Amino acid sequence: MSEPATRILAVDDSANTLEVIERNLCAAGYVVFTARGADEAIPILTQEAPNLLITDLRMPRVGGLDLIRHVRAHAPDTAIIMITGFGTIESAVEAVKEGAEEYLTKPFTDDELLAAVRRTLDKQRLRRVGASPETRSSGAALGLIGDSPAMQRVYRAVEKASATSATVLITGESGTGKELIARAVHYHSARAAAPFVPVNCAGIPEGLIESELFGHVKGAFTGAVTSRAGFFIAADQGSIFLDEIGELPLGMQAKLLRVLEDQQVQMVGSTRPRSVDVRVLAATNKNLATLVRRGAFRDDLFYRLNVITIELPPLRERGDDLTALVGSFLSKFAREAGKAAPRLSDRAWRCLREYHWPGNVRELENAIQRLVVMTDHEEVDAADLPSLMRFSVPEHDAAPRTLAEVEAAHIRRILASVRGNKTQAAQILGIDRKTLRESLKRFGIAEDARNSD
């Protein structure tokens, strides 16, 4: 018996916005209800019990925050996404504190909408399975795929970390799923009902990091026309996920250390600290111990972060997990595309198993999505795969090369795997677009190898 389709209620006073949301989500296989305001939405919430609510922030009469409060009081299991054309940190913080799992600013793309819906439903699923202690140690219960010995060690570590409030440092190569592990720890802990706030440290300009993390008061600096809460305040009682922690400047590292030690944040321009109860989950694809030796990372912060360490294995070390991951991604993207999942020929399977997967699970997911979208026949053969997968040479057979040569070759492979899309390549590599552009220039990678965004 198949699972019932996921039901989604979209609430917005804009008919155009509702039409876009309904068209995209229905095409992805969801059952969608729409309402032009809270008065229309509440009967639908009662009668249809949707799995997910997508609501605008500013609406006539009853606003989105009031609707969120109603849902949290009367349908606490319903997941929530807030959307608005007035994107500010204050409204994002308020939405998260009231119970929204995701926050989208108009105009958003179709991909951004679908990605937010998938992430939110994944969080909802994690909360539900977290209520079943007998299944906690399995990958499925954690919202993860794979039963290799390497991943079994990760599951055991997640289970132990979830039982404490200690700081967790998650390490591993780019694309191994560090944020998924952080979410699993949070949603299986005593803080599961409180906010989980992810922050990409590398994506915030250096001059704004302190304000974004801790907030600022009105008049703190030029342009500070209102007071704004930061991500730590938004995560109060819950968890904050500091991704790419190794990219924090040294000055900011000292201030983060003080927050970890005192559980207090001081908004920029304020003379009084504010107490917060926040669990810190940090992640990095760099060797922090090496950065400490180089003087690029504070040793006291490293020791404070490195209380519980969860090391994620690269995909090439996960054995038969590849088969399970491919099957899951084929089903997922075929369902979204409204088509049957294609089969893989023996030659295609051989290519996937022999490929080194430098971008790990993220690269695999992108590759399978491309196959499902671009393939019209029932079976995928080796010829349908990108050339770098068909003709890849196992890494142990390669001739010795300099570090720069290895890095340049890796960037070329990733670019080829995403057909030159620099945004996707940067995500797989775990760097921002500016760093990728600088690397392309430094290695002299031709424009035709990186022809699109």
Task: Give the tokens for residue 304.
Answer: 């404070």
The predicted pLDDT at position 87 comes to 53
The predicted pLDDT at position 444 comes to 80
The predicted pLDDT at position 3 comes to 47
Query: How far is it, in rounded angstroms, from Cα 64 to Cα 72?
Result: 12
Contacts of 408 (CB under 8 A, 6+ apart): 439, 443, 445
Query: How far is it, in rounded angstroms, from Cα 295 to Cα 289?
Result: 10
Report phi then psi at 68, rounded to 5: -60, -45
Q: Which amino acid is residue 299, in one-letter code? A: D
Burial class (CB in 10 A: 0-12, 13-18, 19+), 410: middle
Query: How far is it, in rounded angstroms, from Cα 312 to Cα 169?
Result: 11
Of 429, 363, 425, 416, nearest in space to 386 by CA: 416
- 316-345 in b/e form (b: 16+ CB < 10 A) is bebbebbeebbeebbebbbebeeeebbebe
Report phi then psi at 251, rounded to 5: -60, -40
Q: Would you list the DSSP string of 258-294?
A: HHHHH-EE--BT-SS-EE---EEEEEESS-HHHHHHH
Same fold, 133-311 and 318-449: no
The reported pTM is 0.62
∠ CA 264-161-78, nearest 5°, is 80
Give Dmax over CA atoms of the chain in angstroms: 69
The predicted pLDDT at position 31 comes to 92
Query: How far is it, in rounded angstroms, from Cα 422 to Cα 394?
Result: 25
Query: How far is it, in rounded angstroms, from Cα 110 to Cα 108?
Result: 7
CA distances to 91, 159, 168, 288 from 303, in Å: 35, 22, 11, 10
Give the class (CATH, top level) of 318-449: mainly alpha
For the chain, what are the domain ranges?
Answer: 7-111+123-127, 133-311, 318-449
Give the class (CATH, top level) of 133-311: alpha beta
* pLDDT tens for the chain, residues 1 to 453: 334 678 999 999 888 889 999 999 998 889 999 999 888 898 898 888 899 999 988 888 787 888 888 888 888 888 899 887 655 556 666 667 677 878 787 778 888 898 889 888 877 776 655 444 444 445 666 778 888 889 999 999 999 999 999 999 999 999 999 999 999 999 999 998 888 999 999 989 888 899 889 987 877 777 776 778 889 998 999 999 999 999 999 999 999 999 999 999 888 888 888 899 999 999 999 999 999 999 999 999 999 999 999 999 999 999 889 998 999 899 889 888 888 888 898 888 888 988 889 999 999 999 999 999 988 888 888 888 887 787 654 444 445 667 777 788 788 878 877 777 888 788 778 788 888 888 888 888 865 444 444
Query: How far is it, in rounded angstroms, from Cα 70 to Cα 316?
Result: 47
For 7-111+123-127, CATH number out of 3.40.50.150, 3.30.540.10, 3.40.50.2300, 3.30.70.100 equals 3.40.50.2300
Give the number of other CB atoms < 10 A from CB of residue 227. 16
Q: Would you list the DSSP string of 381-449?
A: -GGGS-HHHHS---GGGSPP--HHHHHHHHHHHHHHHTTTBHHHHHHHHTS-HHHHHHHHHHHT--GGG
The predicted pLDDT at position 2 comes to 37
Query: How far is it, in rounded angstroms, from Cα 429 to Cα 417?
Result: 12
Report phi then psi at 223, rounded to 5: 100, -10
The predicted pLDDT at position 1 comes to 32
Of 255, 266, 268, 267, nearest in space to 221 by CA: 268
